[in-house]
């Protein structure tokens, strides 16, 4: 039996870089060491089953002649070294499994967080899609026979969309005034909510007998 034996790989695996293959290699190394230890114990057993602790001298203090002392000493020495190697490899296996487990937990936590964010985003998008658009202005007076009256606008209609003006870009009534001035004689799509129902109207800013191009008064809504 040769005294030469492999030493465990130093620093393997690297922290944070352990893989399943690394763990499998460590387990293979552990089993290899265990097989070598068993082989050396078989040597001791073949030498009168002398074991690790029985004396190598006879009752008179002379070296025993019934066993191969060199083989026994070599086997005992290698068993001790291999047991130390085995302990080191087992520690590496334990550390590697902890790293794998911790990384799996982190990945699971990340996956759950991403799934939660996706669900929240999806629900938010659905809520926004289902929620009616918010009104930004209100009609508080209409003159009979005016373009606003002819278009079907009514007092207390809440304006959701007025041409290109909507809740997202509305800043002041000047936005509506600018659209009206640039749309004289051209139809504007106006969306209003009236008693909870949405209505689509076509309003044509036109010069008429009264003031302005609409003949109605619009005030901003305070939300």
Position 17 scores a pLDDT of: 74
* Segments of 59-196 assigned E as strands: 137-142, 158-162, 165-166, 188-194
Position 10 scores a pLDDT of: 46
pTM exceeds cut of 0.85: no
Mean pLDDT per 10-residue section of the chain, whose length is 223 residues: 49 64 92 95 90 90 91 94 95 90 87 87 68 85 94 94 92 93 93 92 94 93 76
Position 80 scores a pLDDT of: 96
Contacts made by residues 79-87, CB under 8 angstroms, sequence distance 24+: 79/37, 79/40, 79/41, 79/44, 79/52, 81/5, 82/5, 82/33, 82/36, 82/37, 82/40, 83/37, 85/5, 85/7, 85/8, 85/33, 86/30, 86/33, 86/34, 86/37
């Amino acid at each position: 039996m040769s005294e030469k034996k492999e030493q465990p790989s130093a620093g393997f695996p690297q922290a944070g870089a352990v893989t399943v293959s690394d763990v499998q290699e460590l387990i293979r190394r552990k089993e290899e060491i265990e097989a070598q230890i068993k082989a050396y114990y078989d040597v001791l057993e073949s030498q009168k089953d002398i074991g690790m602790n029985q004396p190598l001298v006879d009752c008179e203090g002379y070296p025993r002649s019934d066993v191969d002392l060199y083989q026994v000493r070599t086997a005992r020495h290698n068993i001790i070294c291999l047991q130390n190697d085995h302990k080191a490899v087992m520690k590496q296996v334990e550390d590697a499994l902890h790293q794998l487990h911790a990384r799996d937990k982190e990945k699971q936590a990340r996956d759950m967080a991403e799934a939660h964010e996706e669900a929240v985003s999806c629900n938010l998008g659905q809520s926004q899609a289902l929620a009616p658009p918010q009104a930004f202005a209100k009609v508080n007076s209409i003159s009979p026979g005016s373009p606003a009256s002819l278009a079907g606008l009514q007092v207390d209609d809440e304006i959701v969309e007025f041409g290109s003006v909507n809740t997202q870009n509305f800043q002041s009534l000047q936005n509506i005034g600018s659209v009206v001035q640039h749309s004289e004689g051209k139809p504007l799509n106006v969306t209003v909510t009236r008693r909870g129902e949405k209505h689509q109207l076509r309003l044509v800013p036109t010069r008429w007998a009264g003031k302005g191009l609409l003949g109605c008064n619009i005030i901003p809504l305070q939300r």
